[in-house]
Amino acid sequence: MPRRKLIEISPAEEEYITVSSGGPKKAYNRRRIRNLLARRAKYAYEPVQADWFQEIVGELKLARLRLGMSQITLANSLRTSQSEVSDFETGKTNPTVEFLERVARTLGVKIKILVE
């Protein structure tokens, strides 16, 4: 296995670094790889403030608690992560209609929206 050395060290803000697996004149051996130390952009989220949405999420959370189901159990049923279920219940994410439908179906409830 050829010895790898860094020929260009990027600052932590850069997403990729360049590595070489040969001597200094072997430019064709240079490759860019992802910098694992790079800071990932963290997007600020705005919790969903709509009353109707908070009501739906609250009812789905109550249905989960009535069944004695933990977030981890629900996440496993939905084939997703516990953190995604937590973000959904706290309003940190803007879920799709399909996700709402999957949660409701898993909990055995129906979502009905009345527009007046």
The predicted structure's pLDDT at residue 84: 92
Asked whether residue 112 is domain-assigned, the answer is: no
Number of structural domains in the chain: 2
Of 68, 109, 67, 69, the closest CA to residue 85 belongs to 69
Residues 101 and 56 in one domain: yes
Tokens 């009812």 belong to 59
- With cut-offs at 50, 70 and 90, classify the pLDDT of residue 109: very high
The predicted structure's pLDDT at residue 93: 83
Whole-structure pTM value: 0.58
Tokens 């706290």 belong to 90
Expressed as residue numbers, the domain containing 95 is 51-107
Interval 12-63: pLDDT, tens: 556 666 766 666 666 566 677 776 666 665 555 566 677 888 889 999 999 9
Residues 23 and 63 in one domain: no
Using a 10 angstrom Cβ sphere, with 0-12 exposed, 13-18 middle and 19 or more buried, the burial of residue 40 is: exposed
Higher pLDDT, 19 or 86: 86
Q: Are 20 and 9 in contact (CB under 8 A)?
A: no
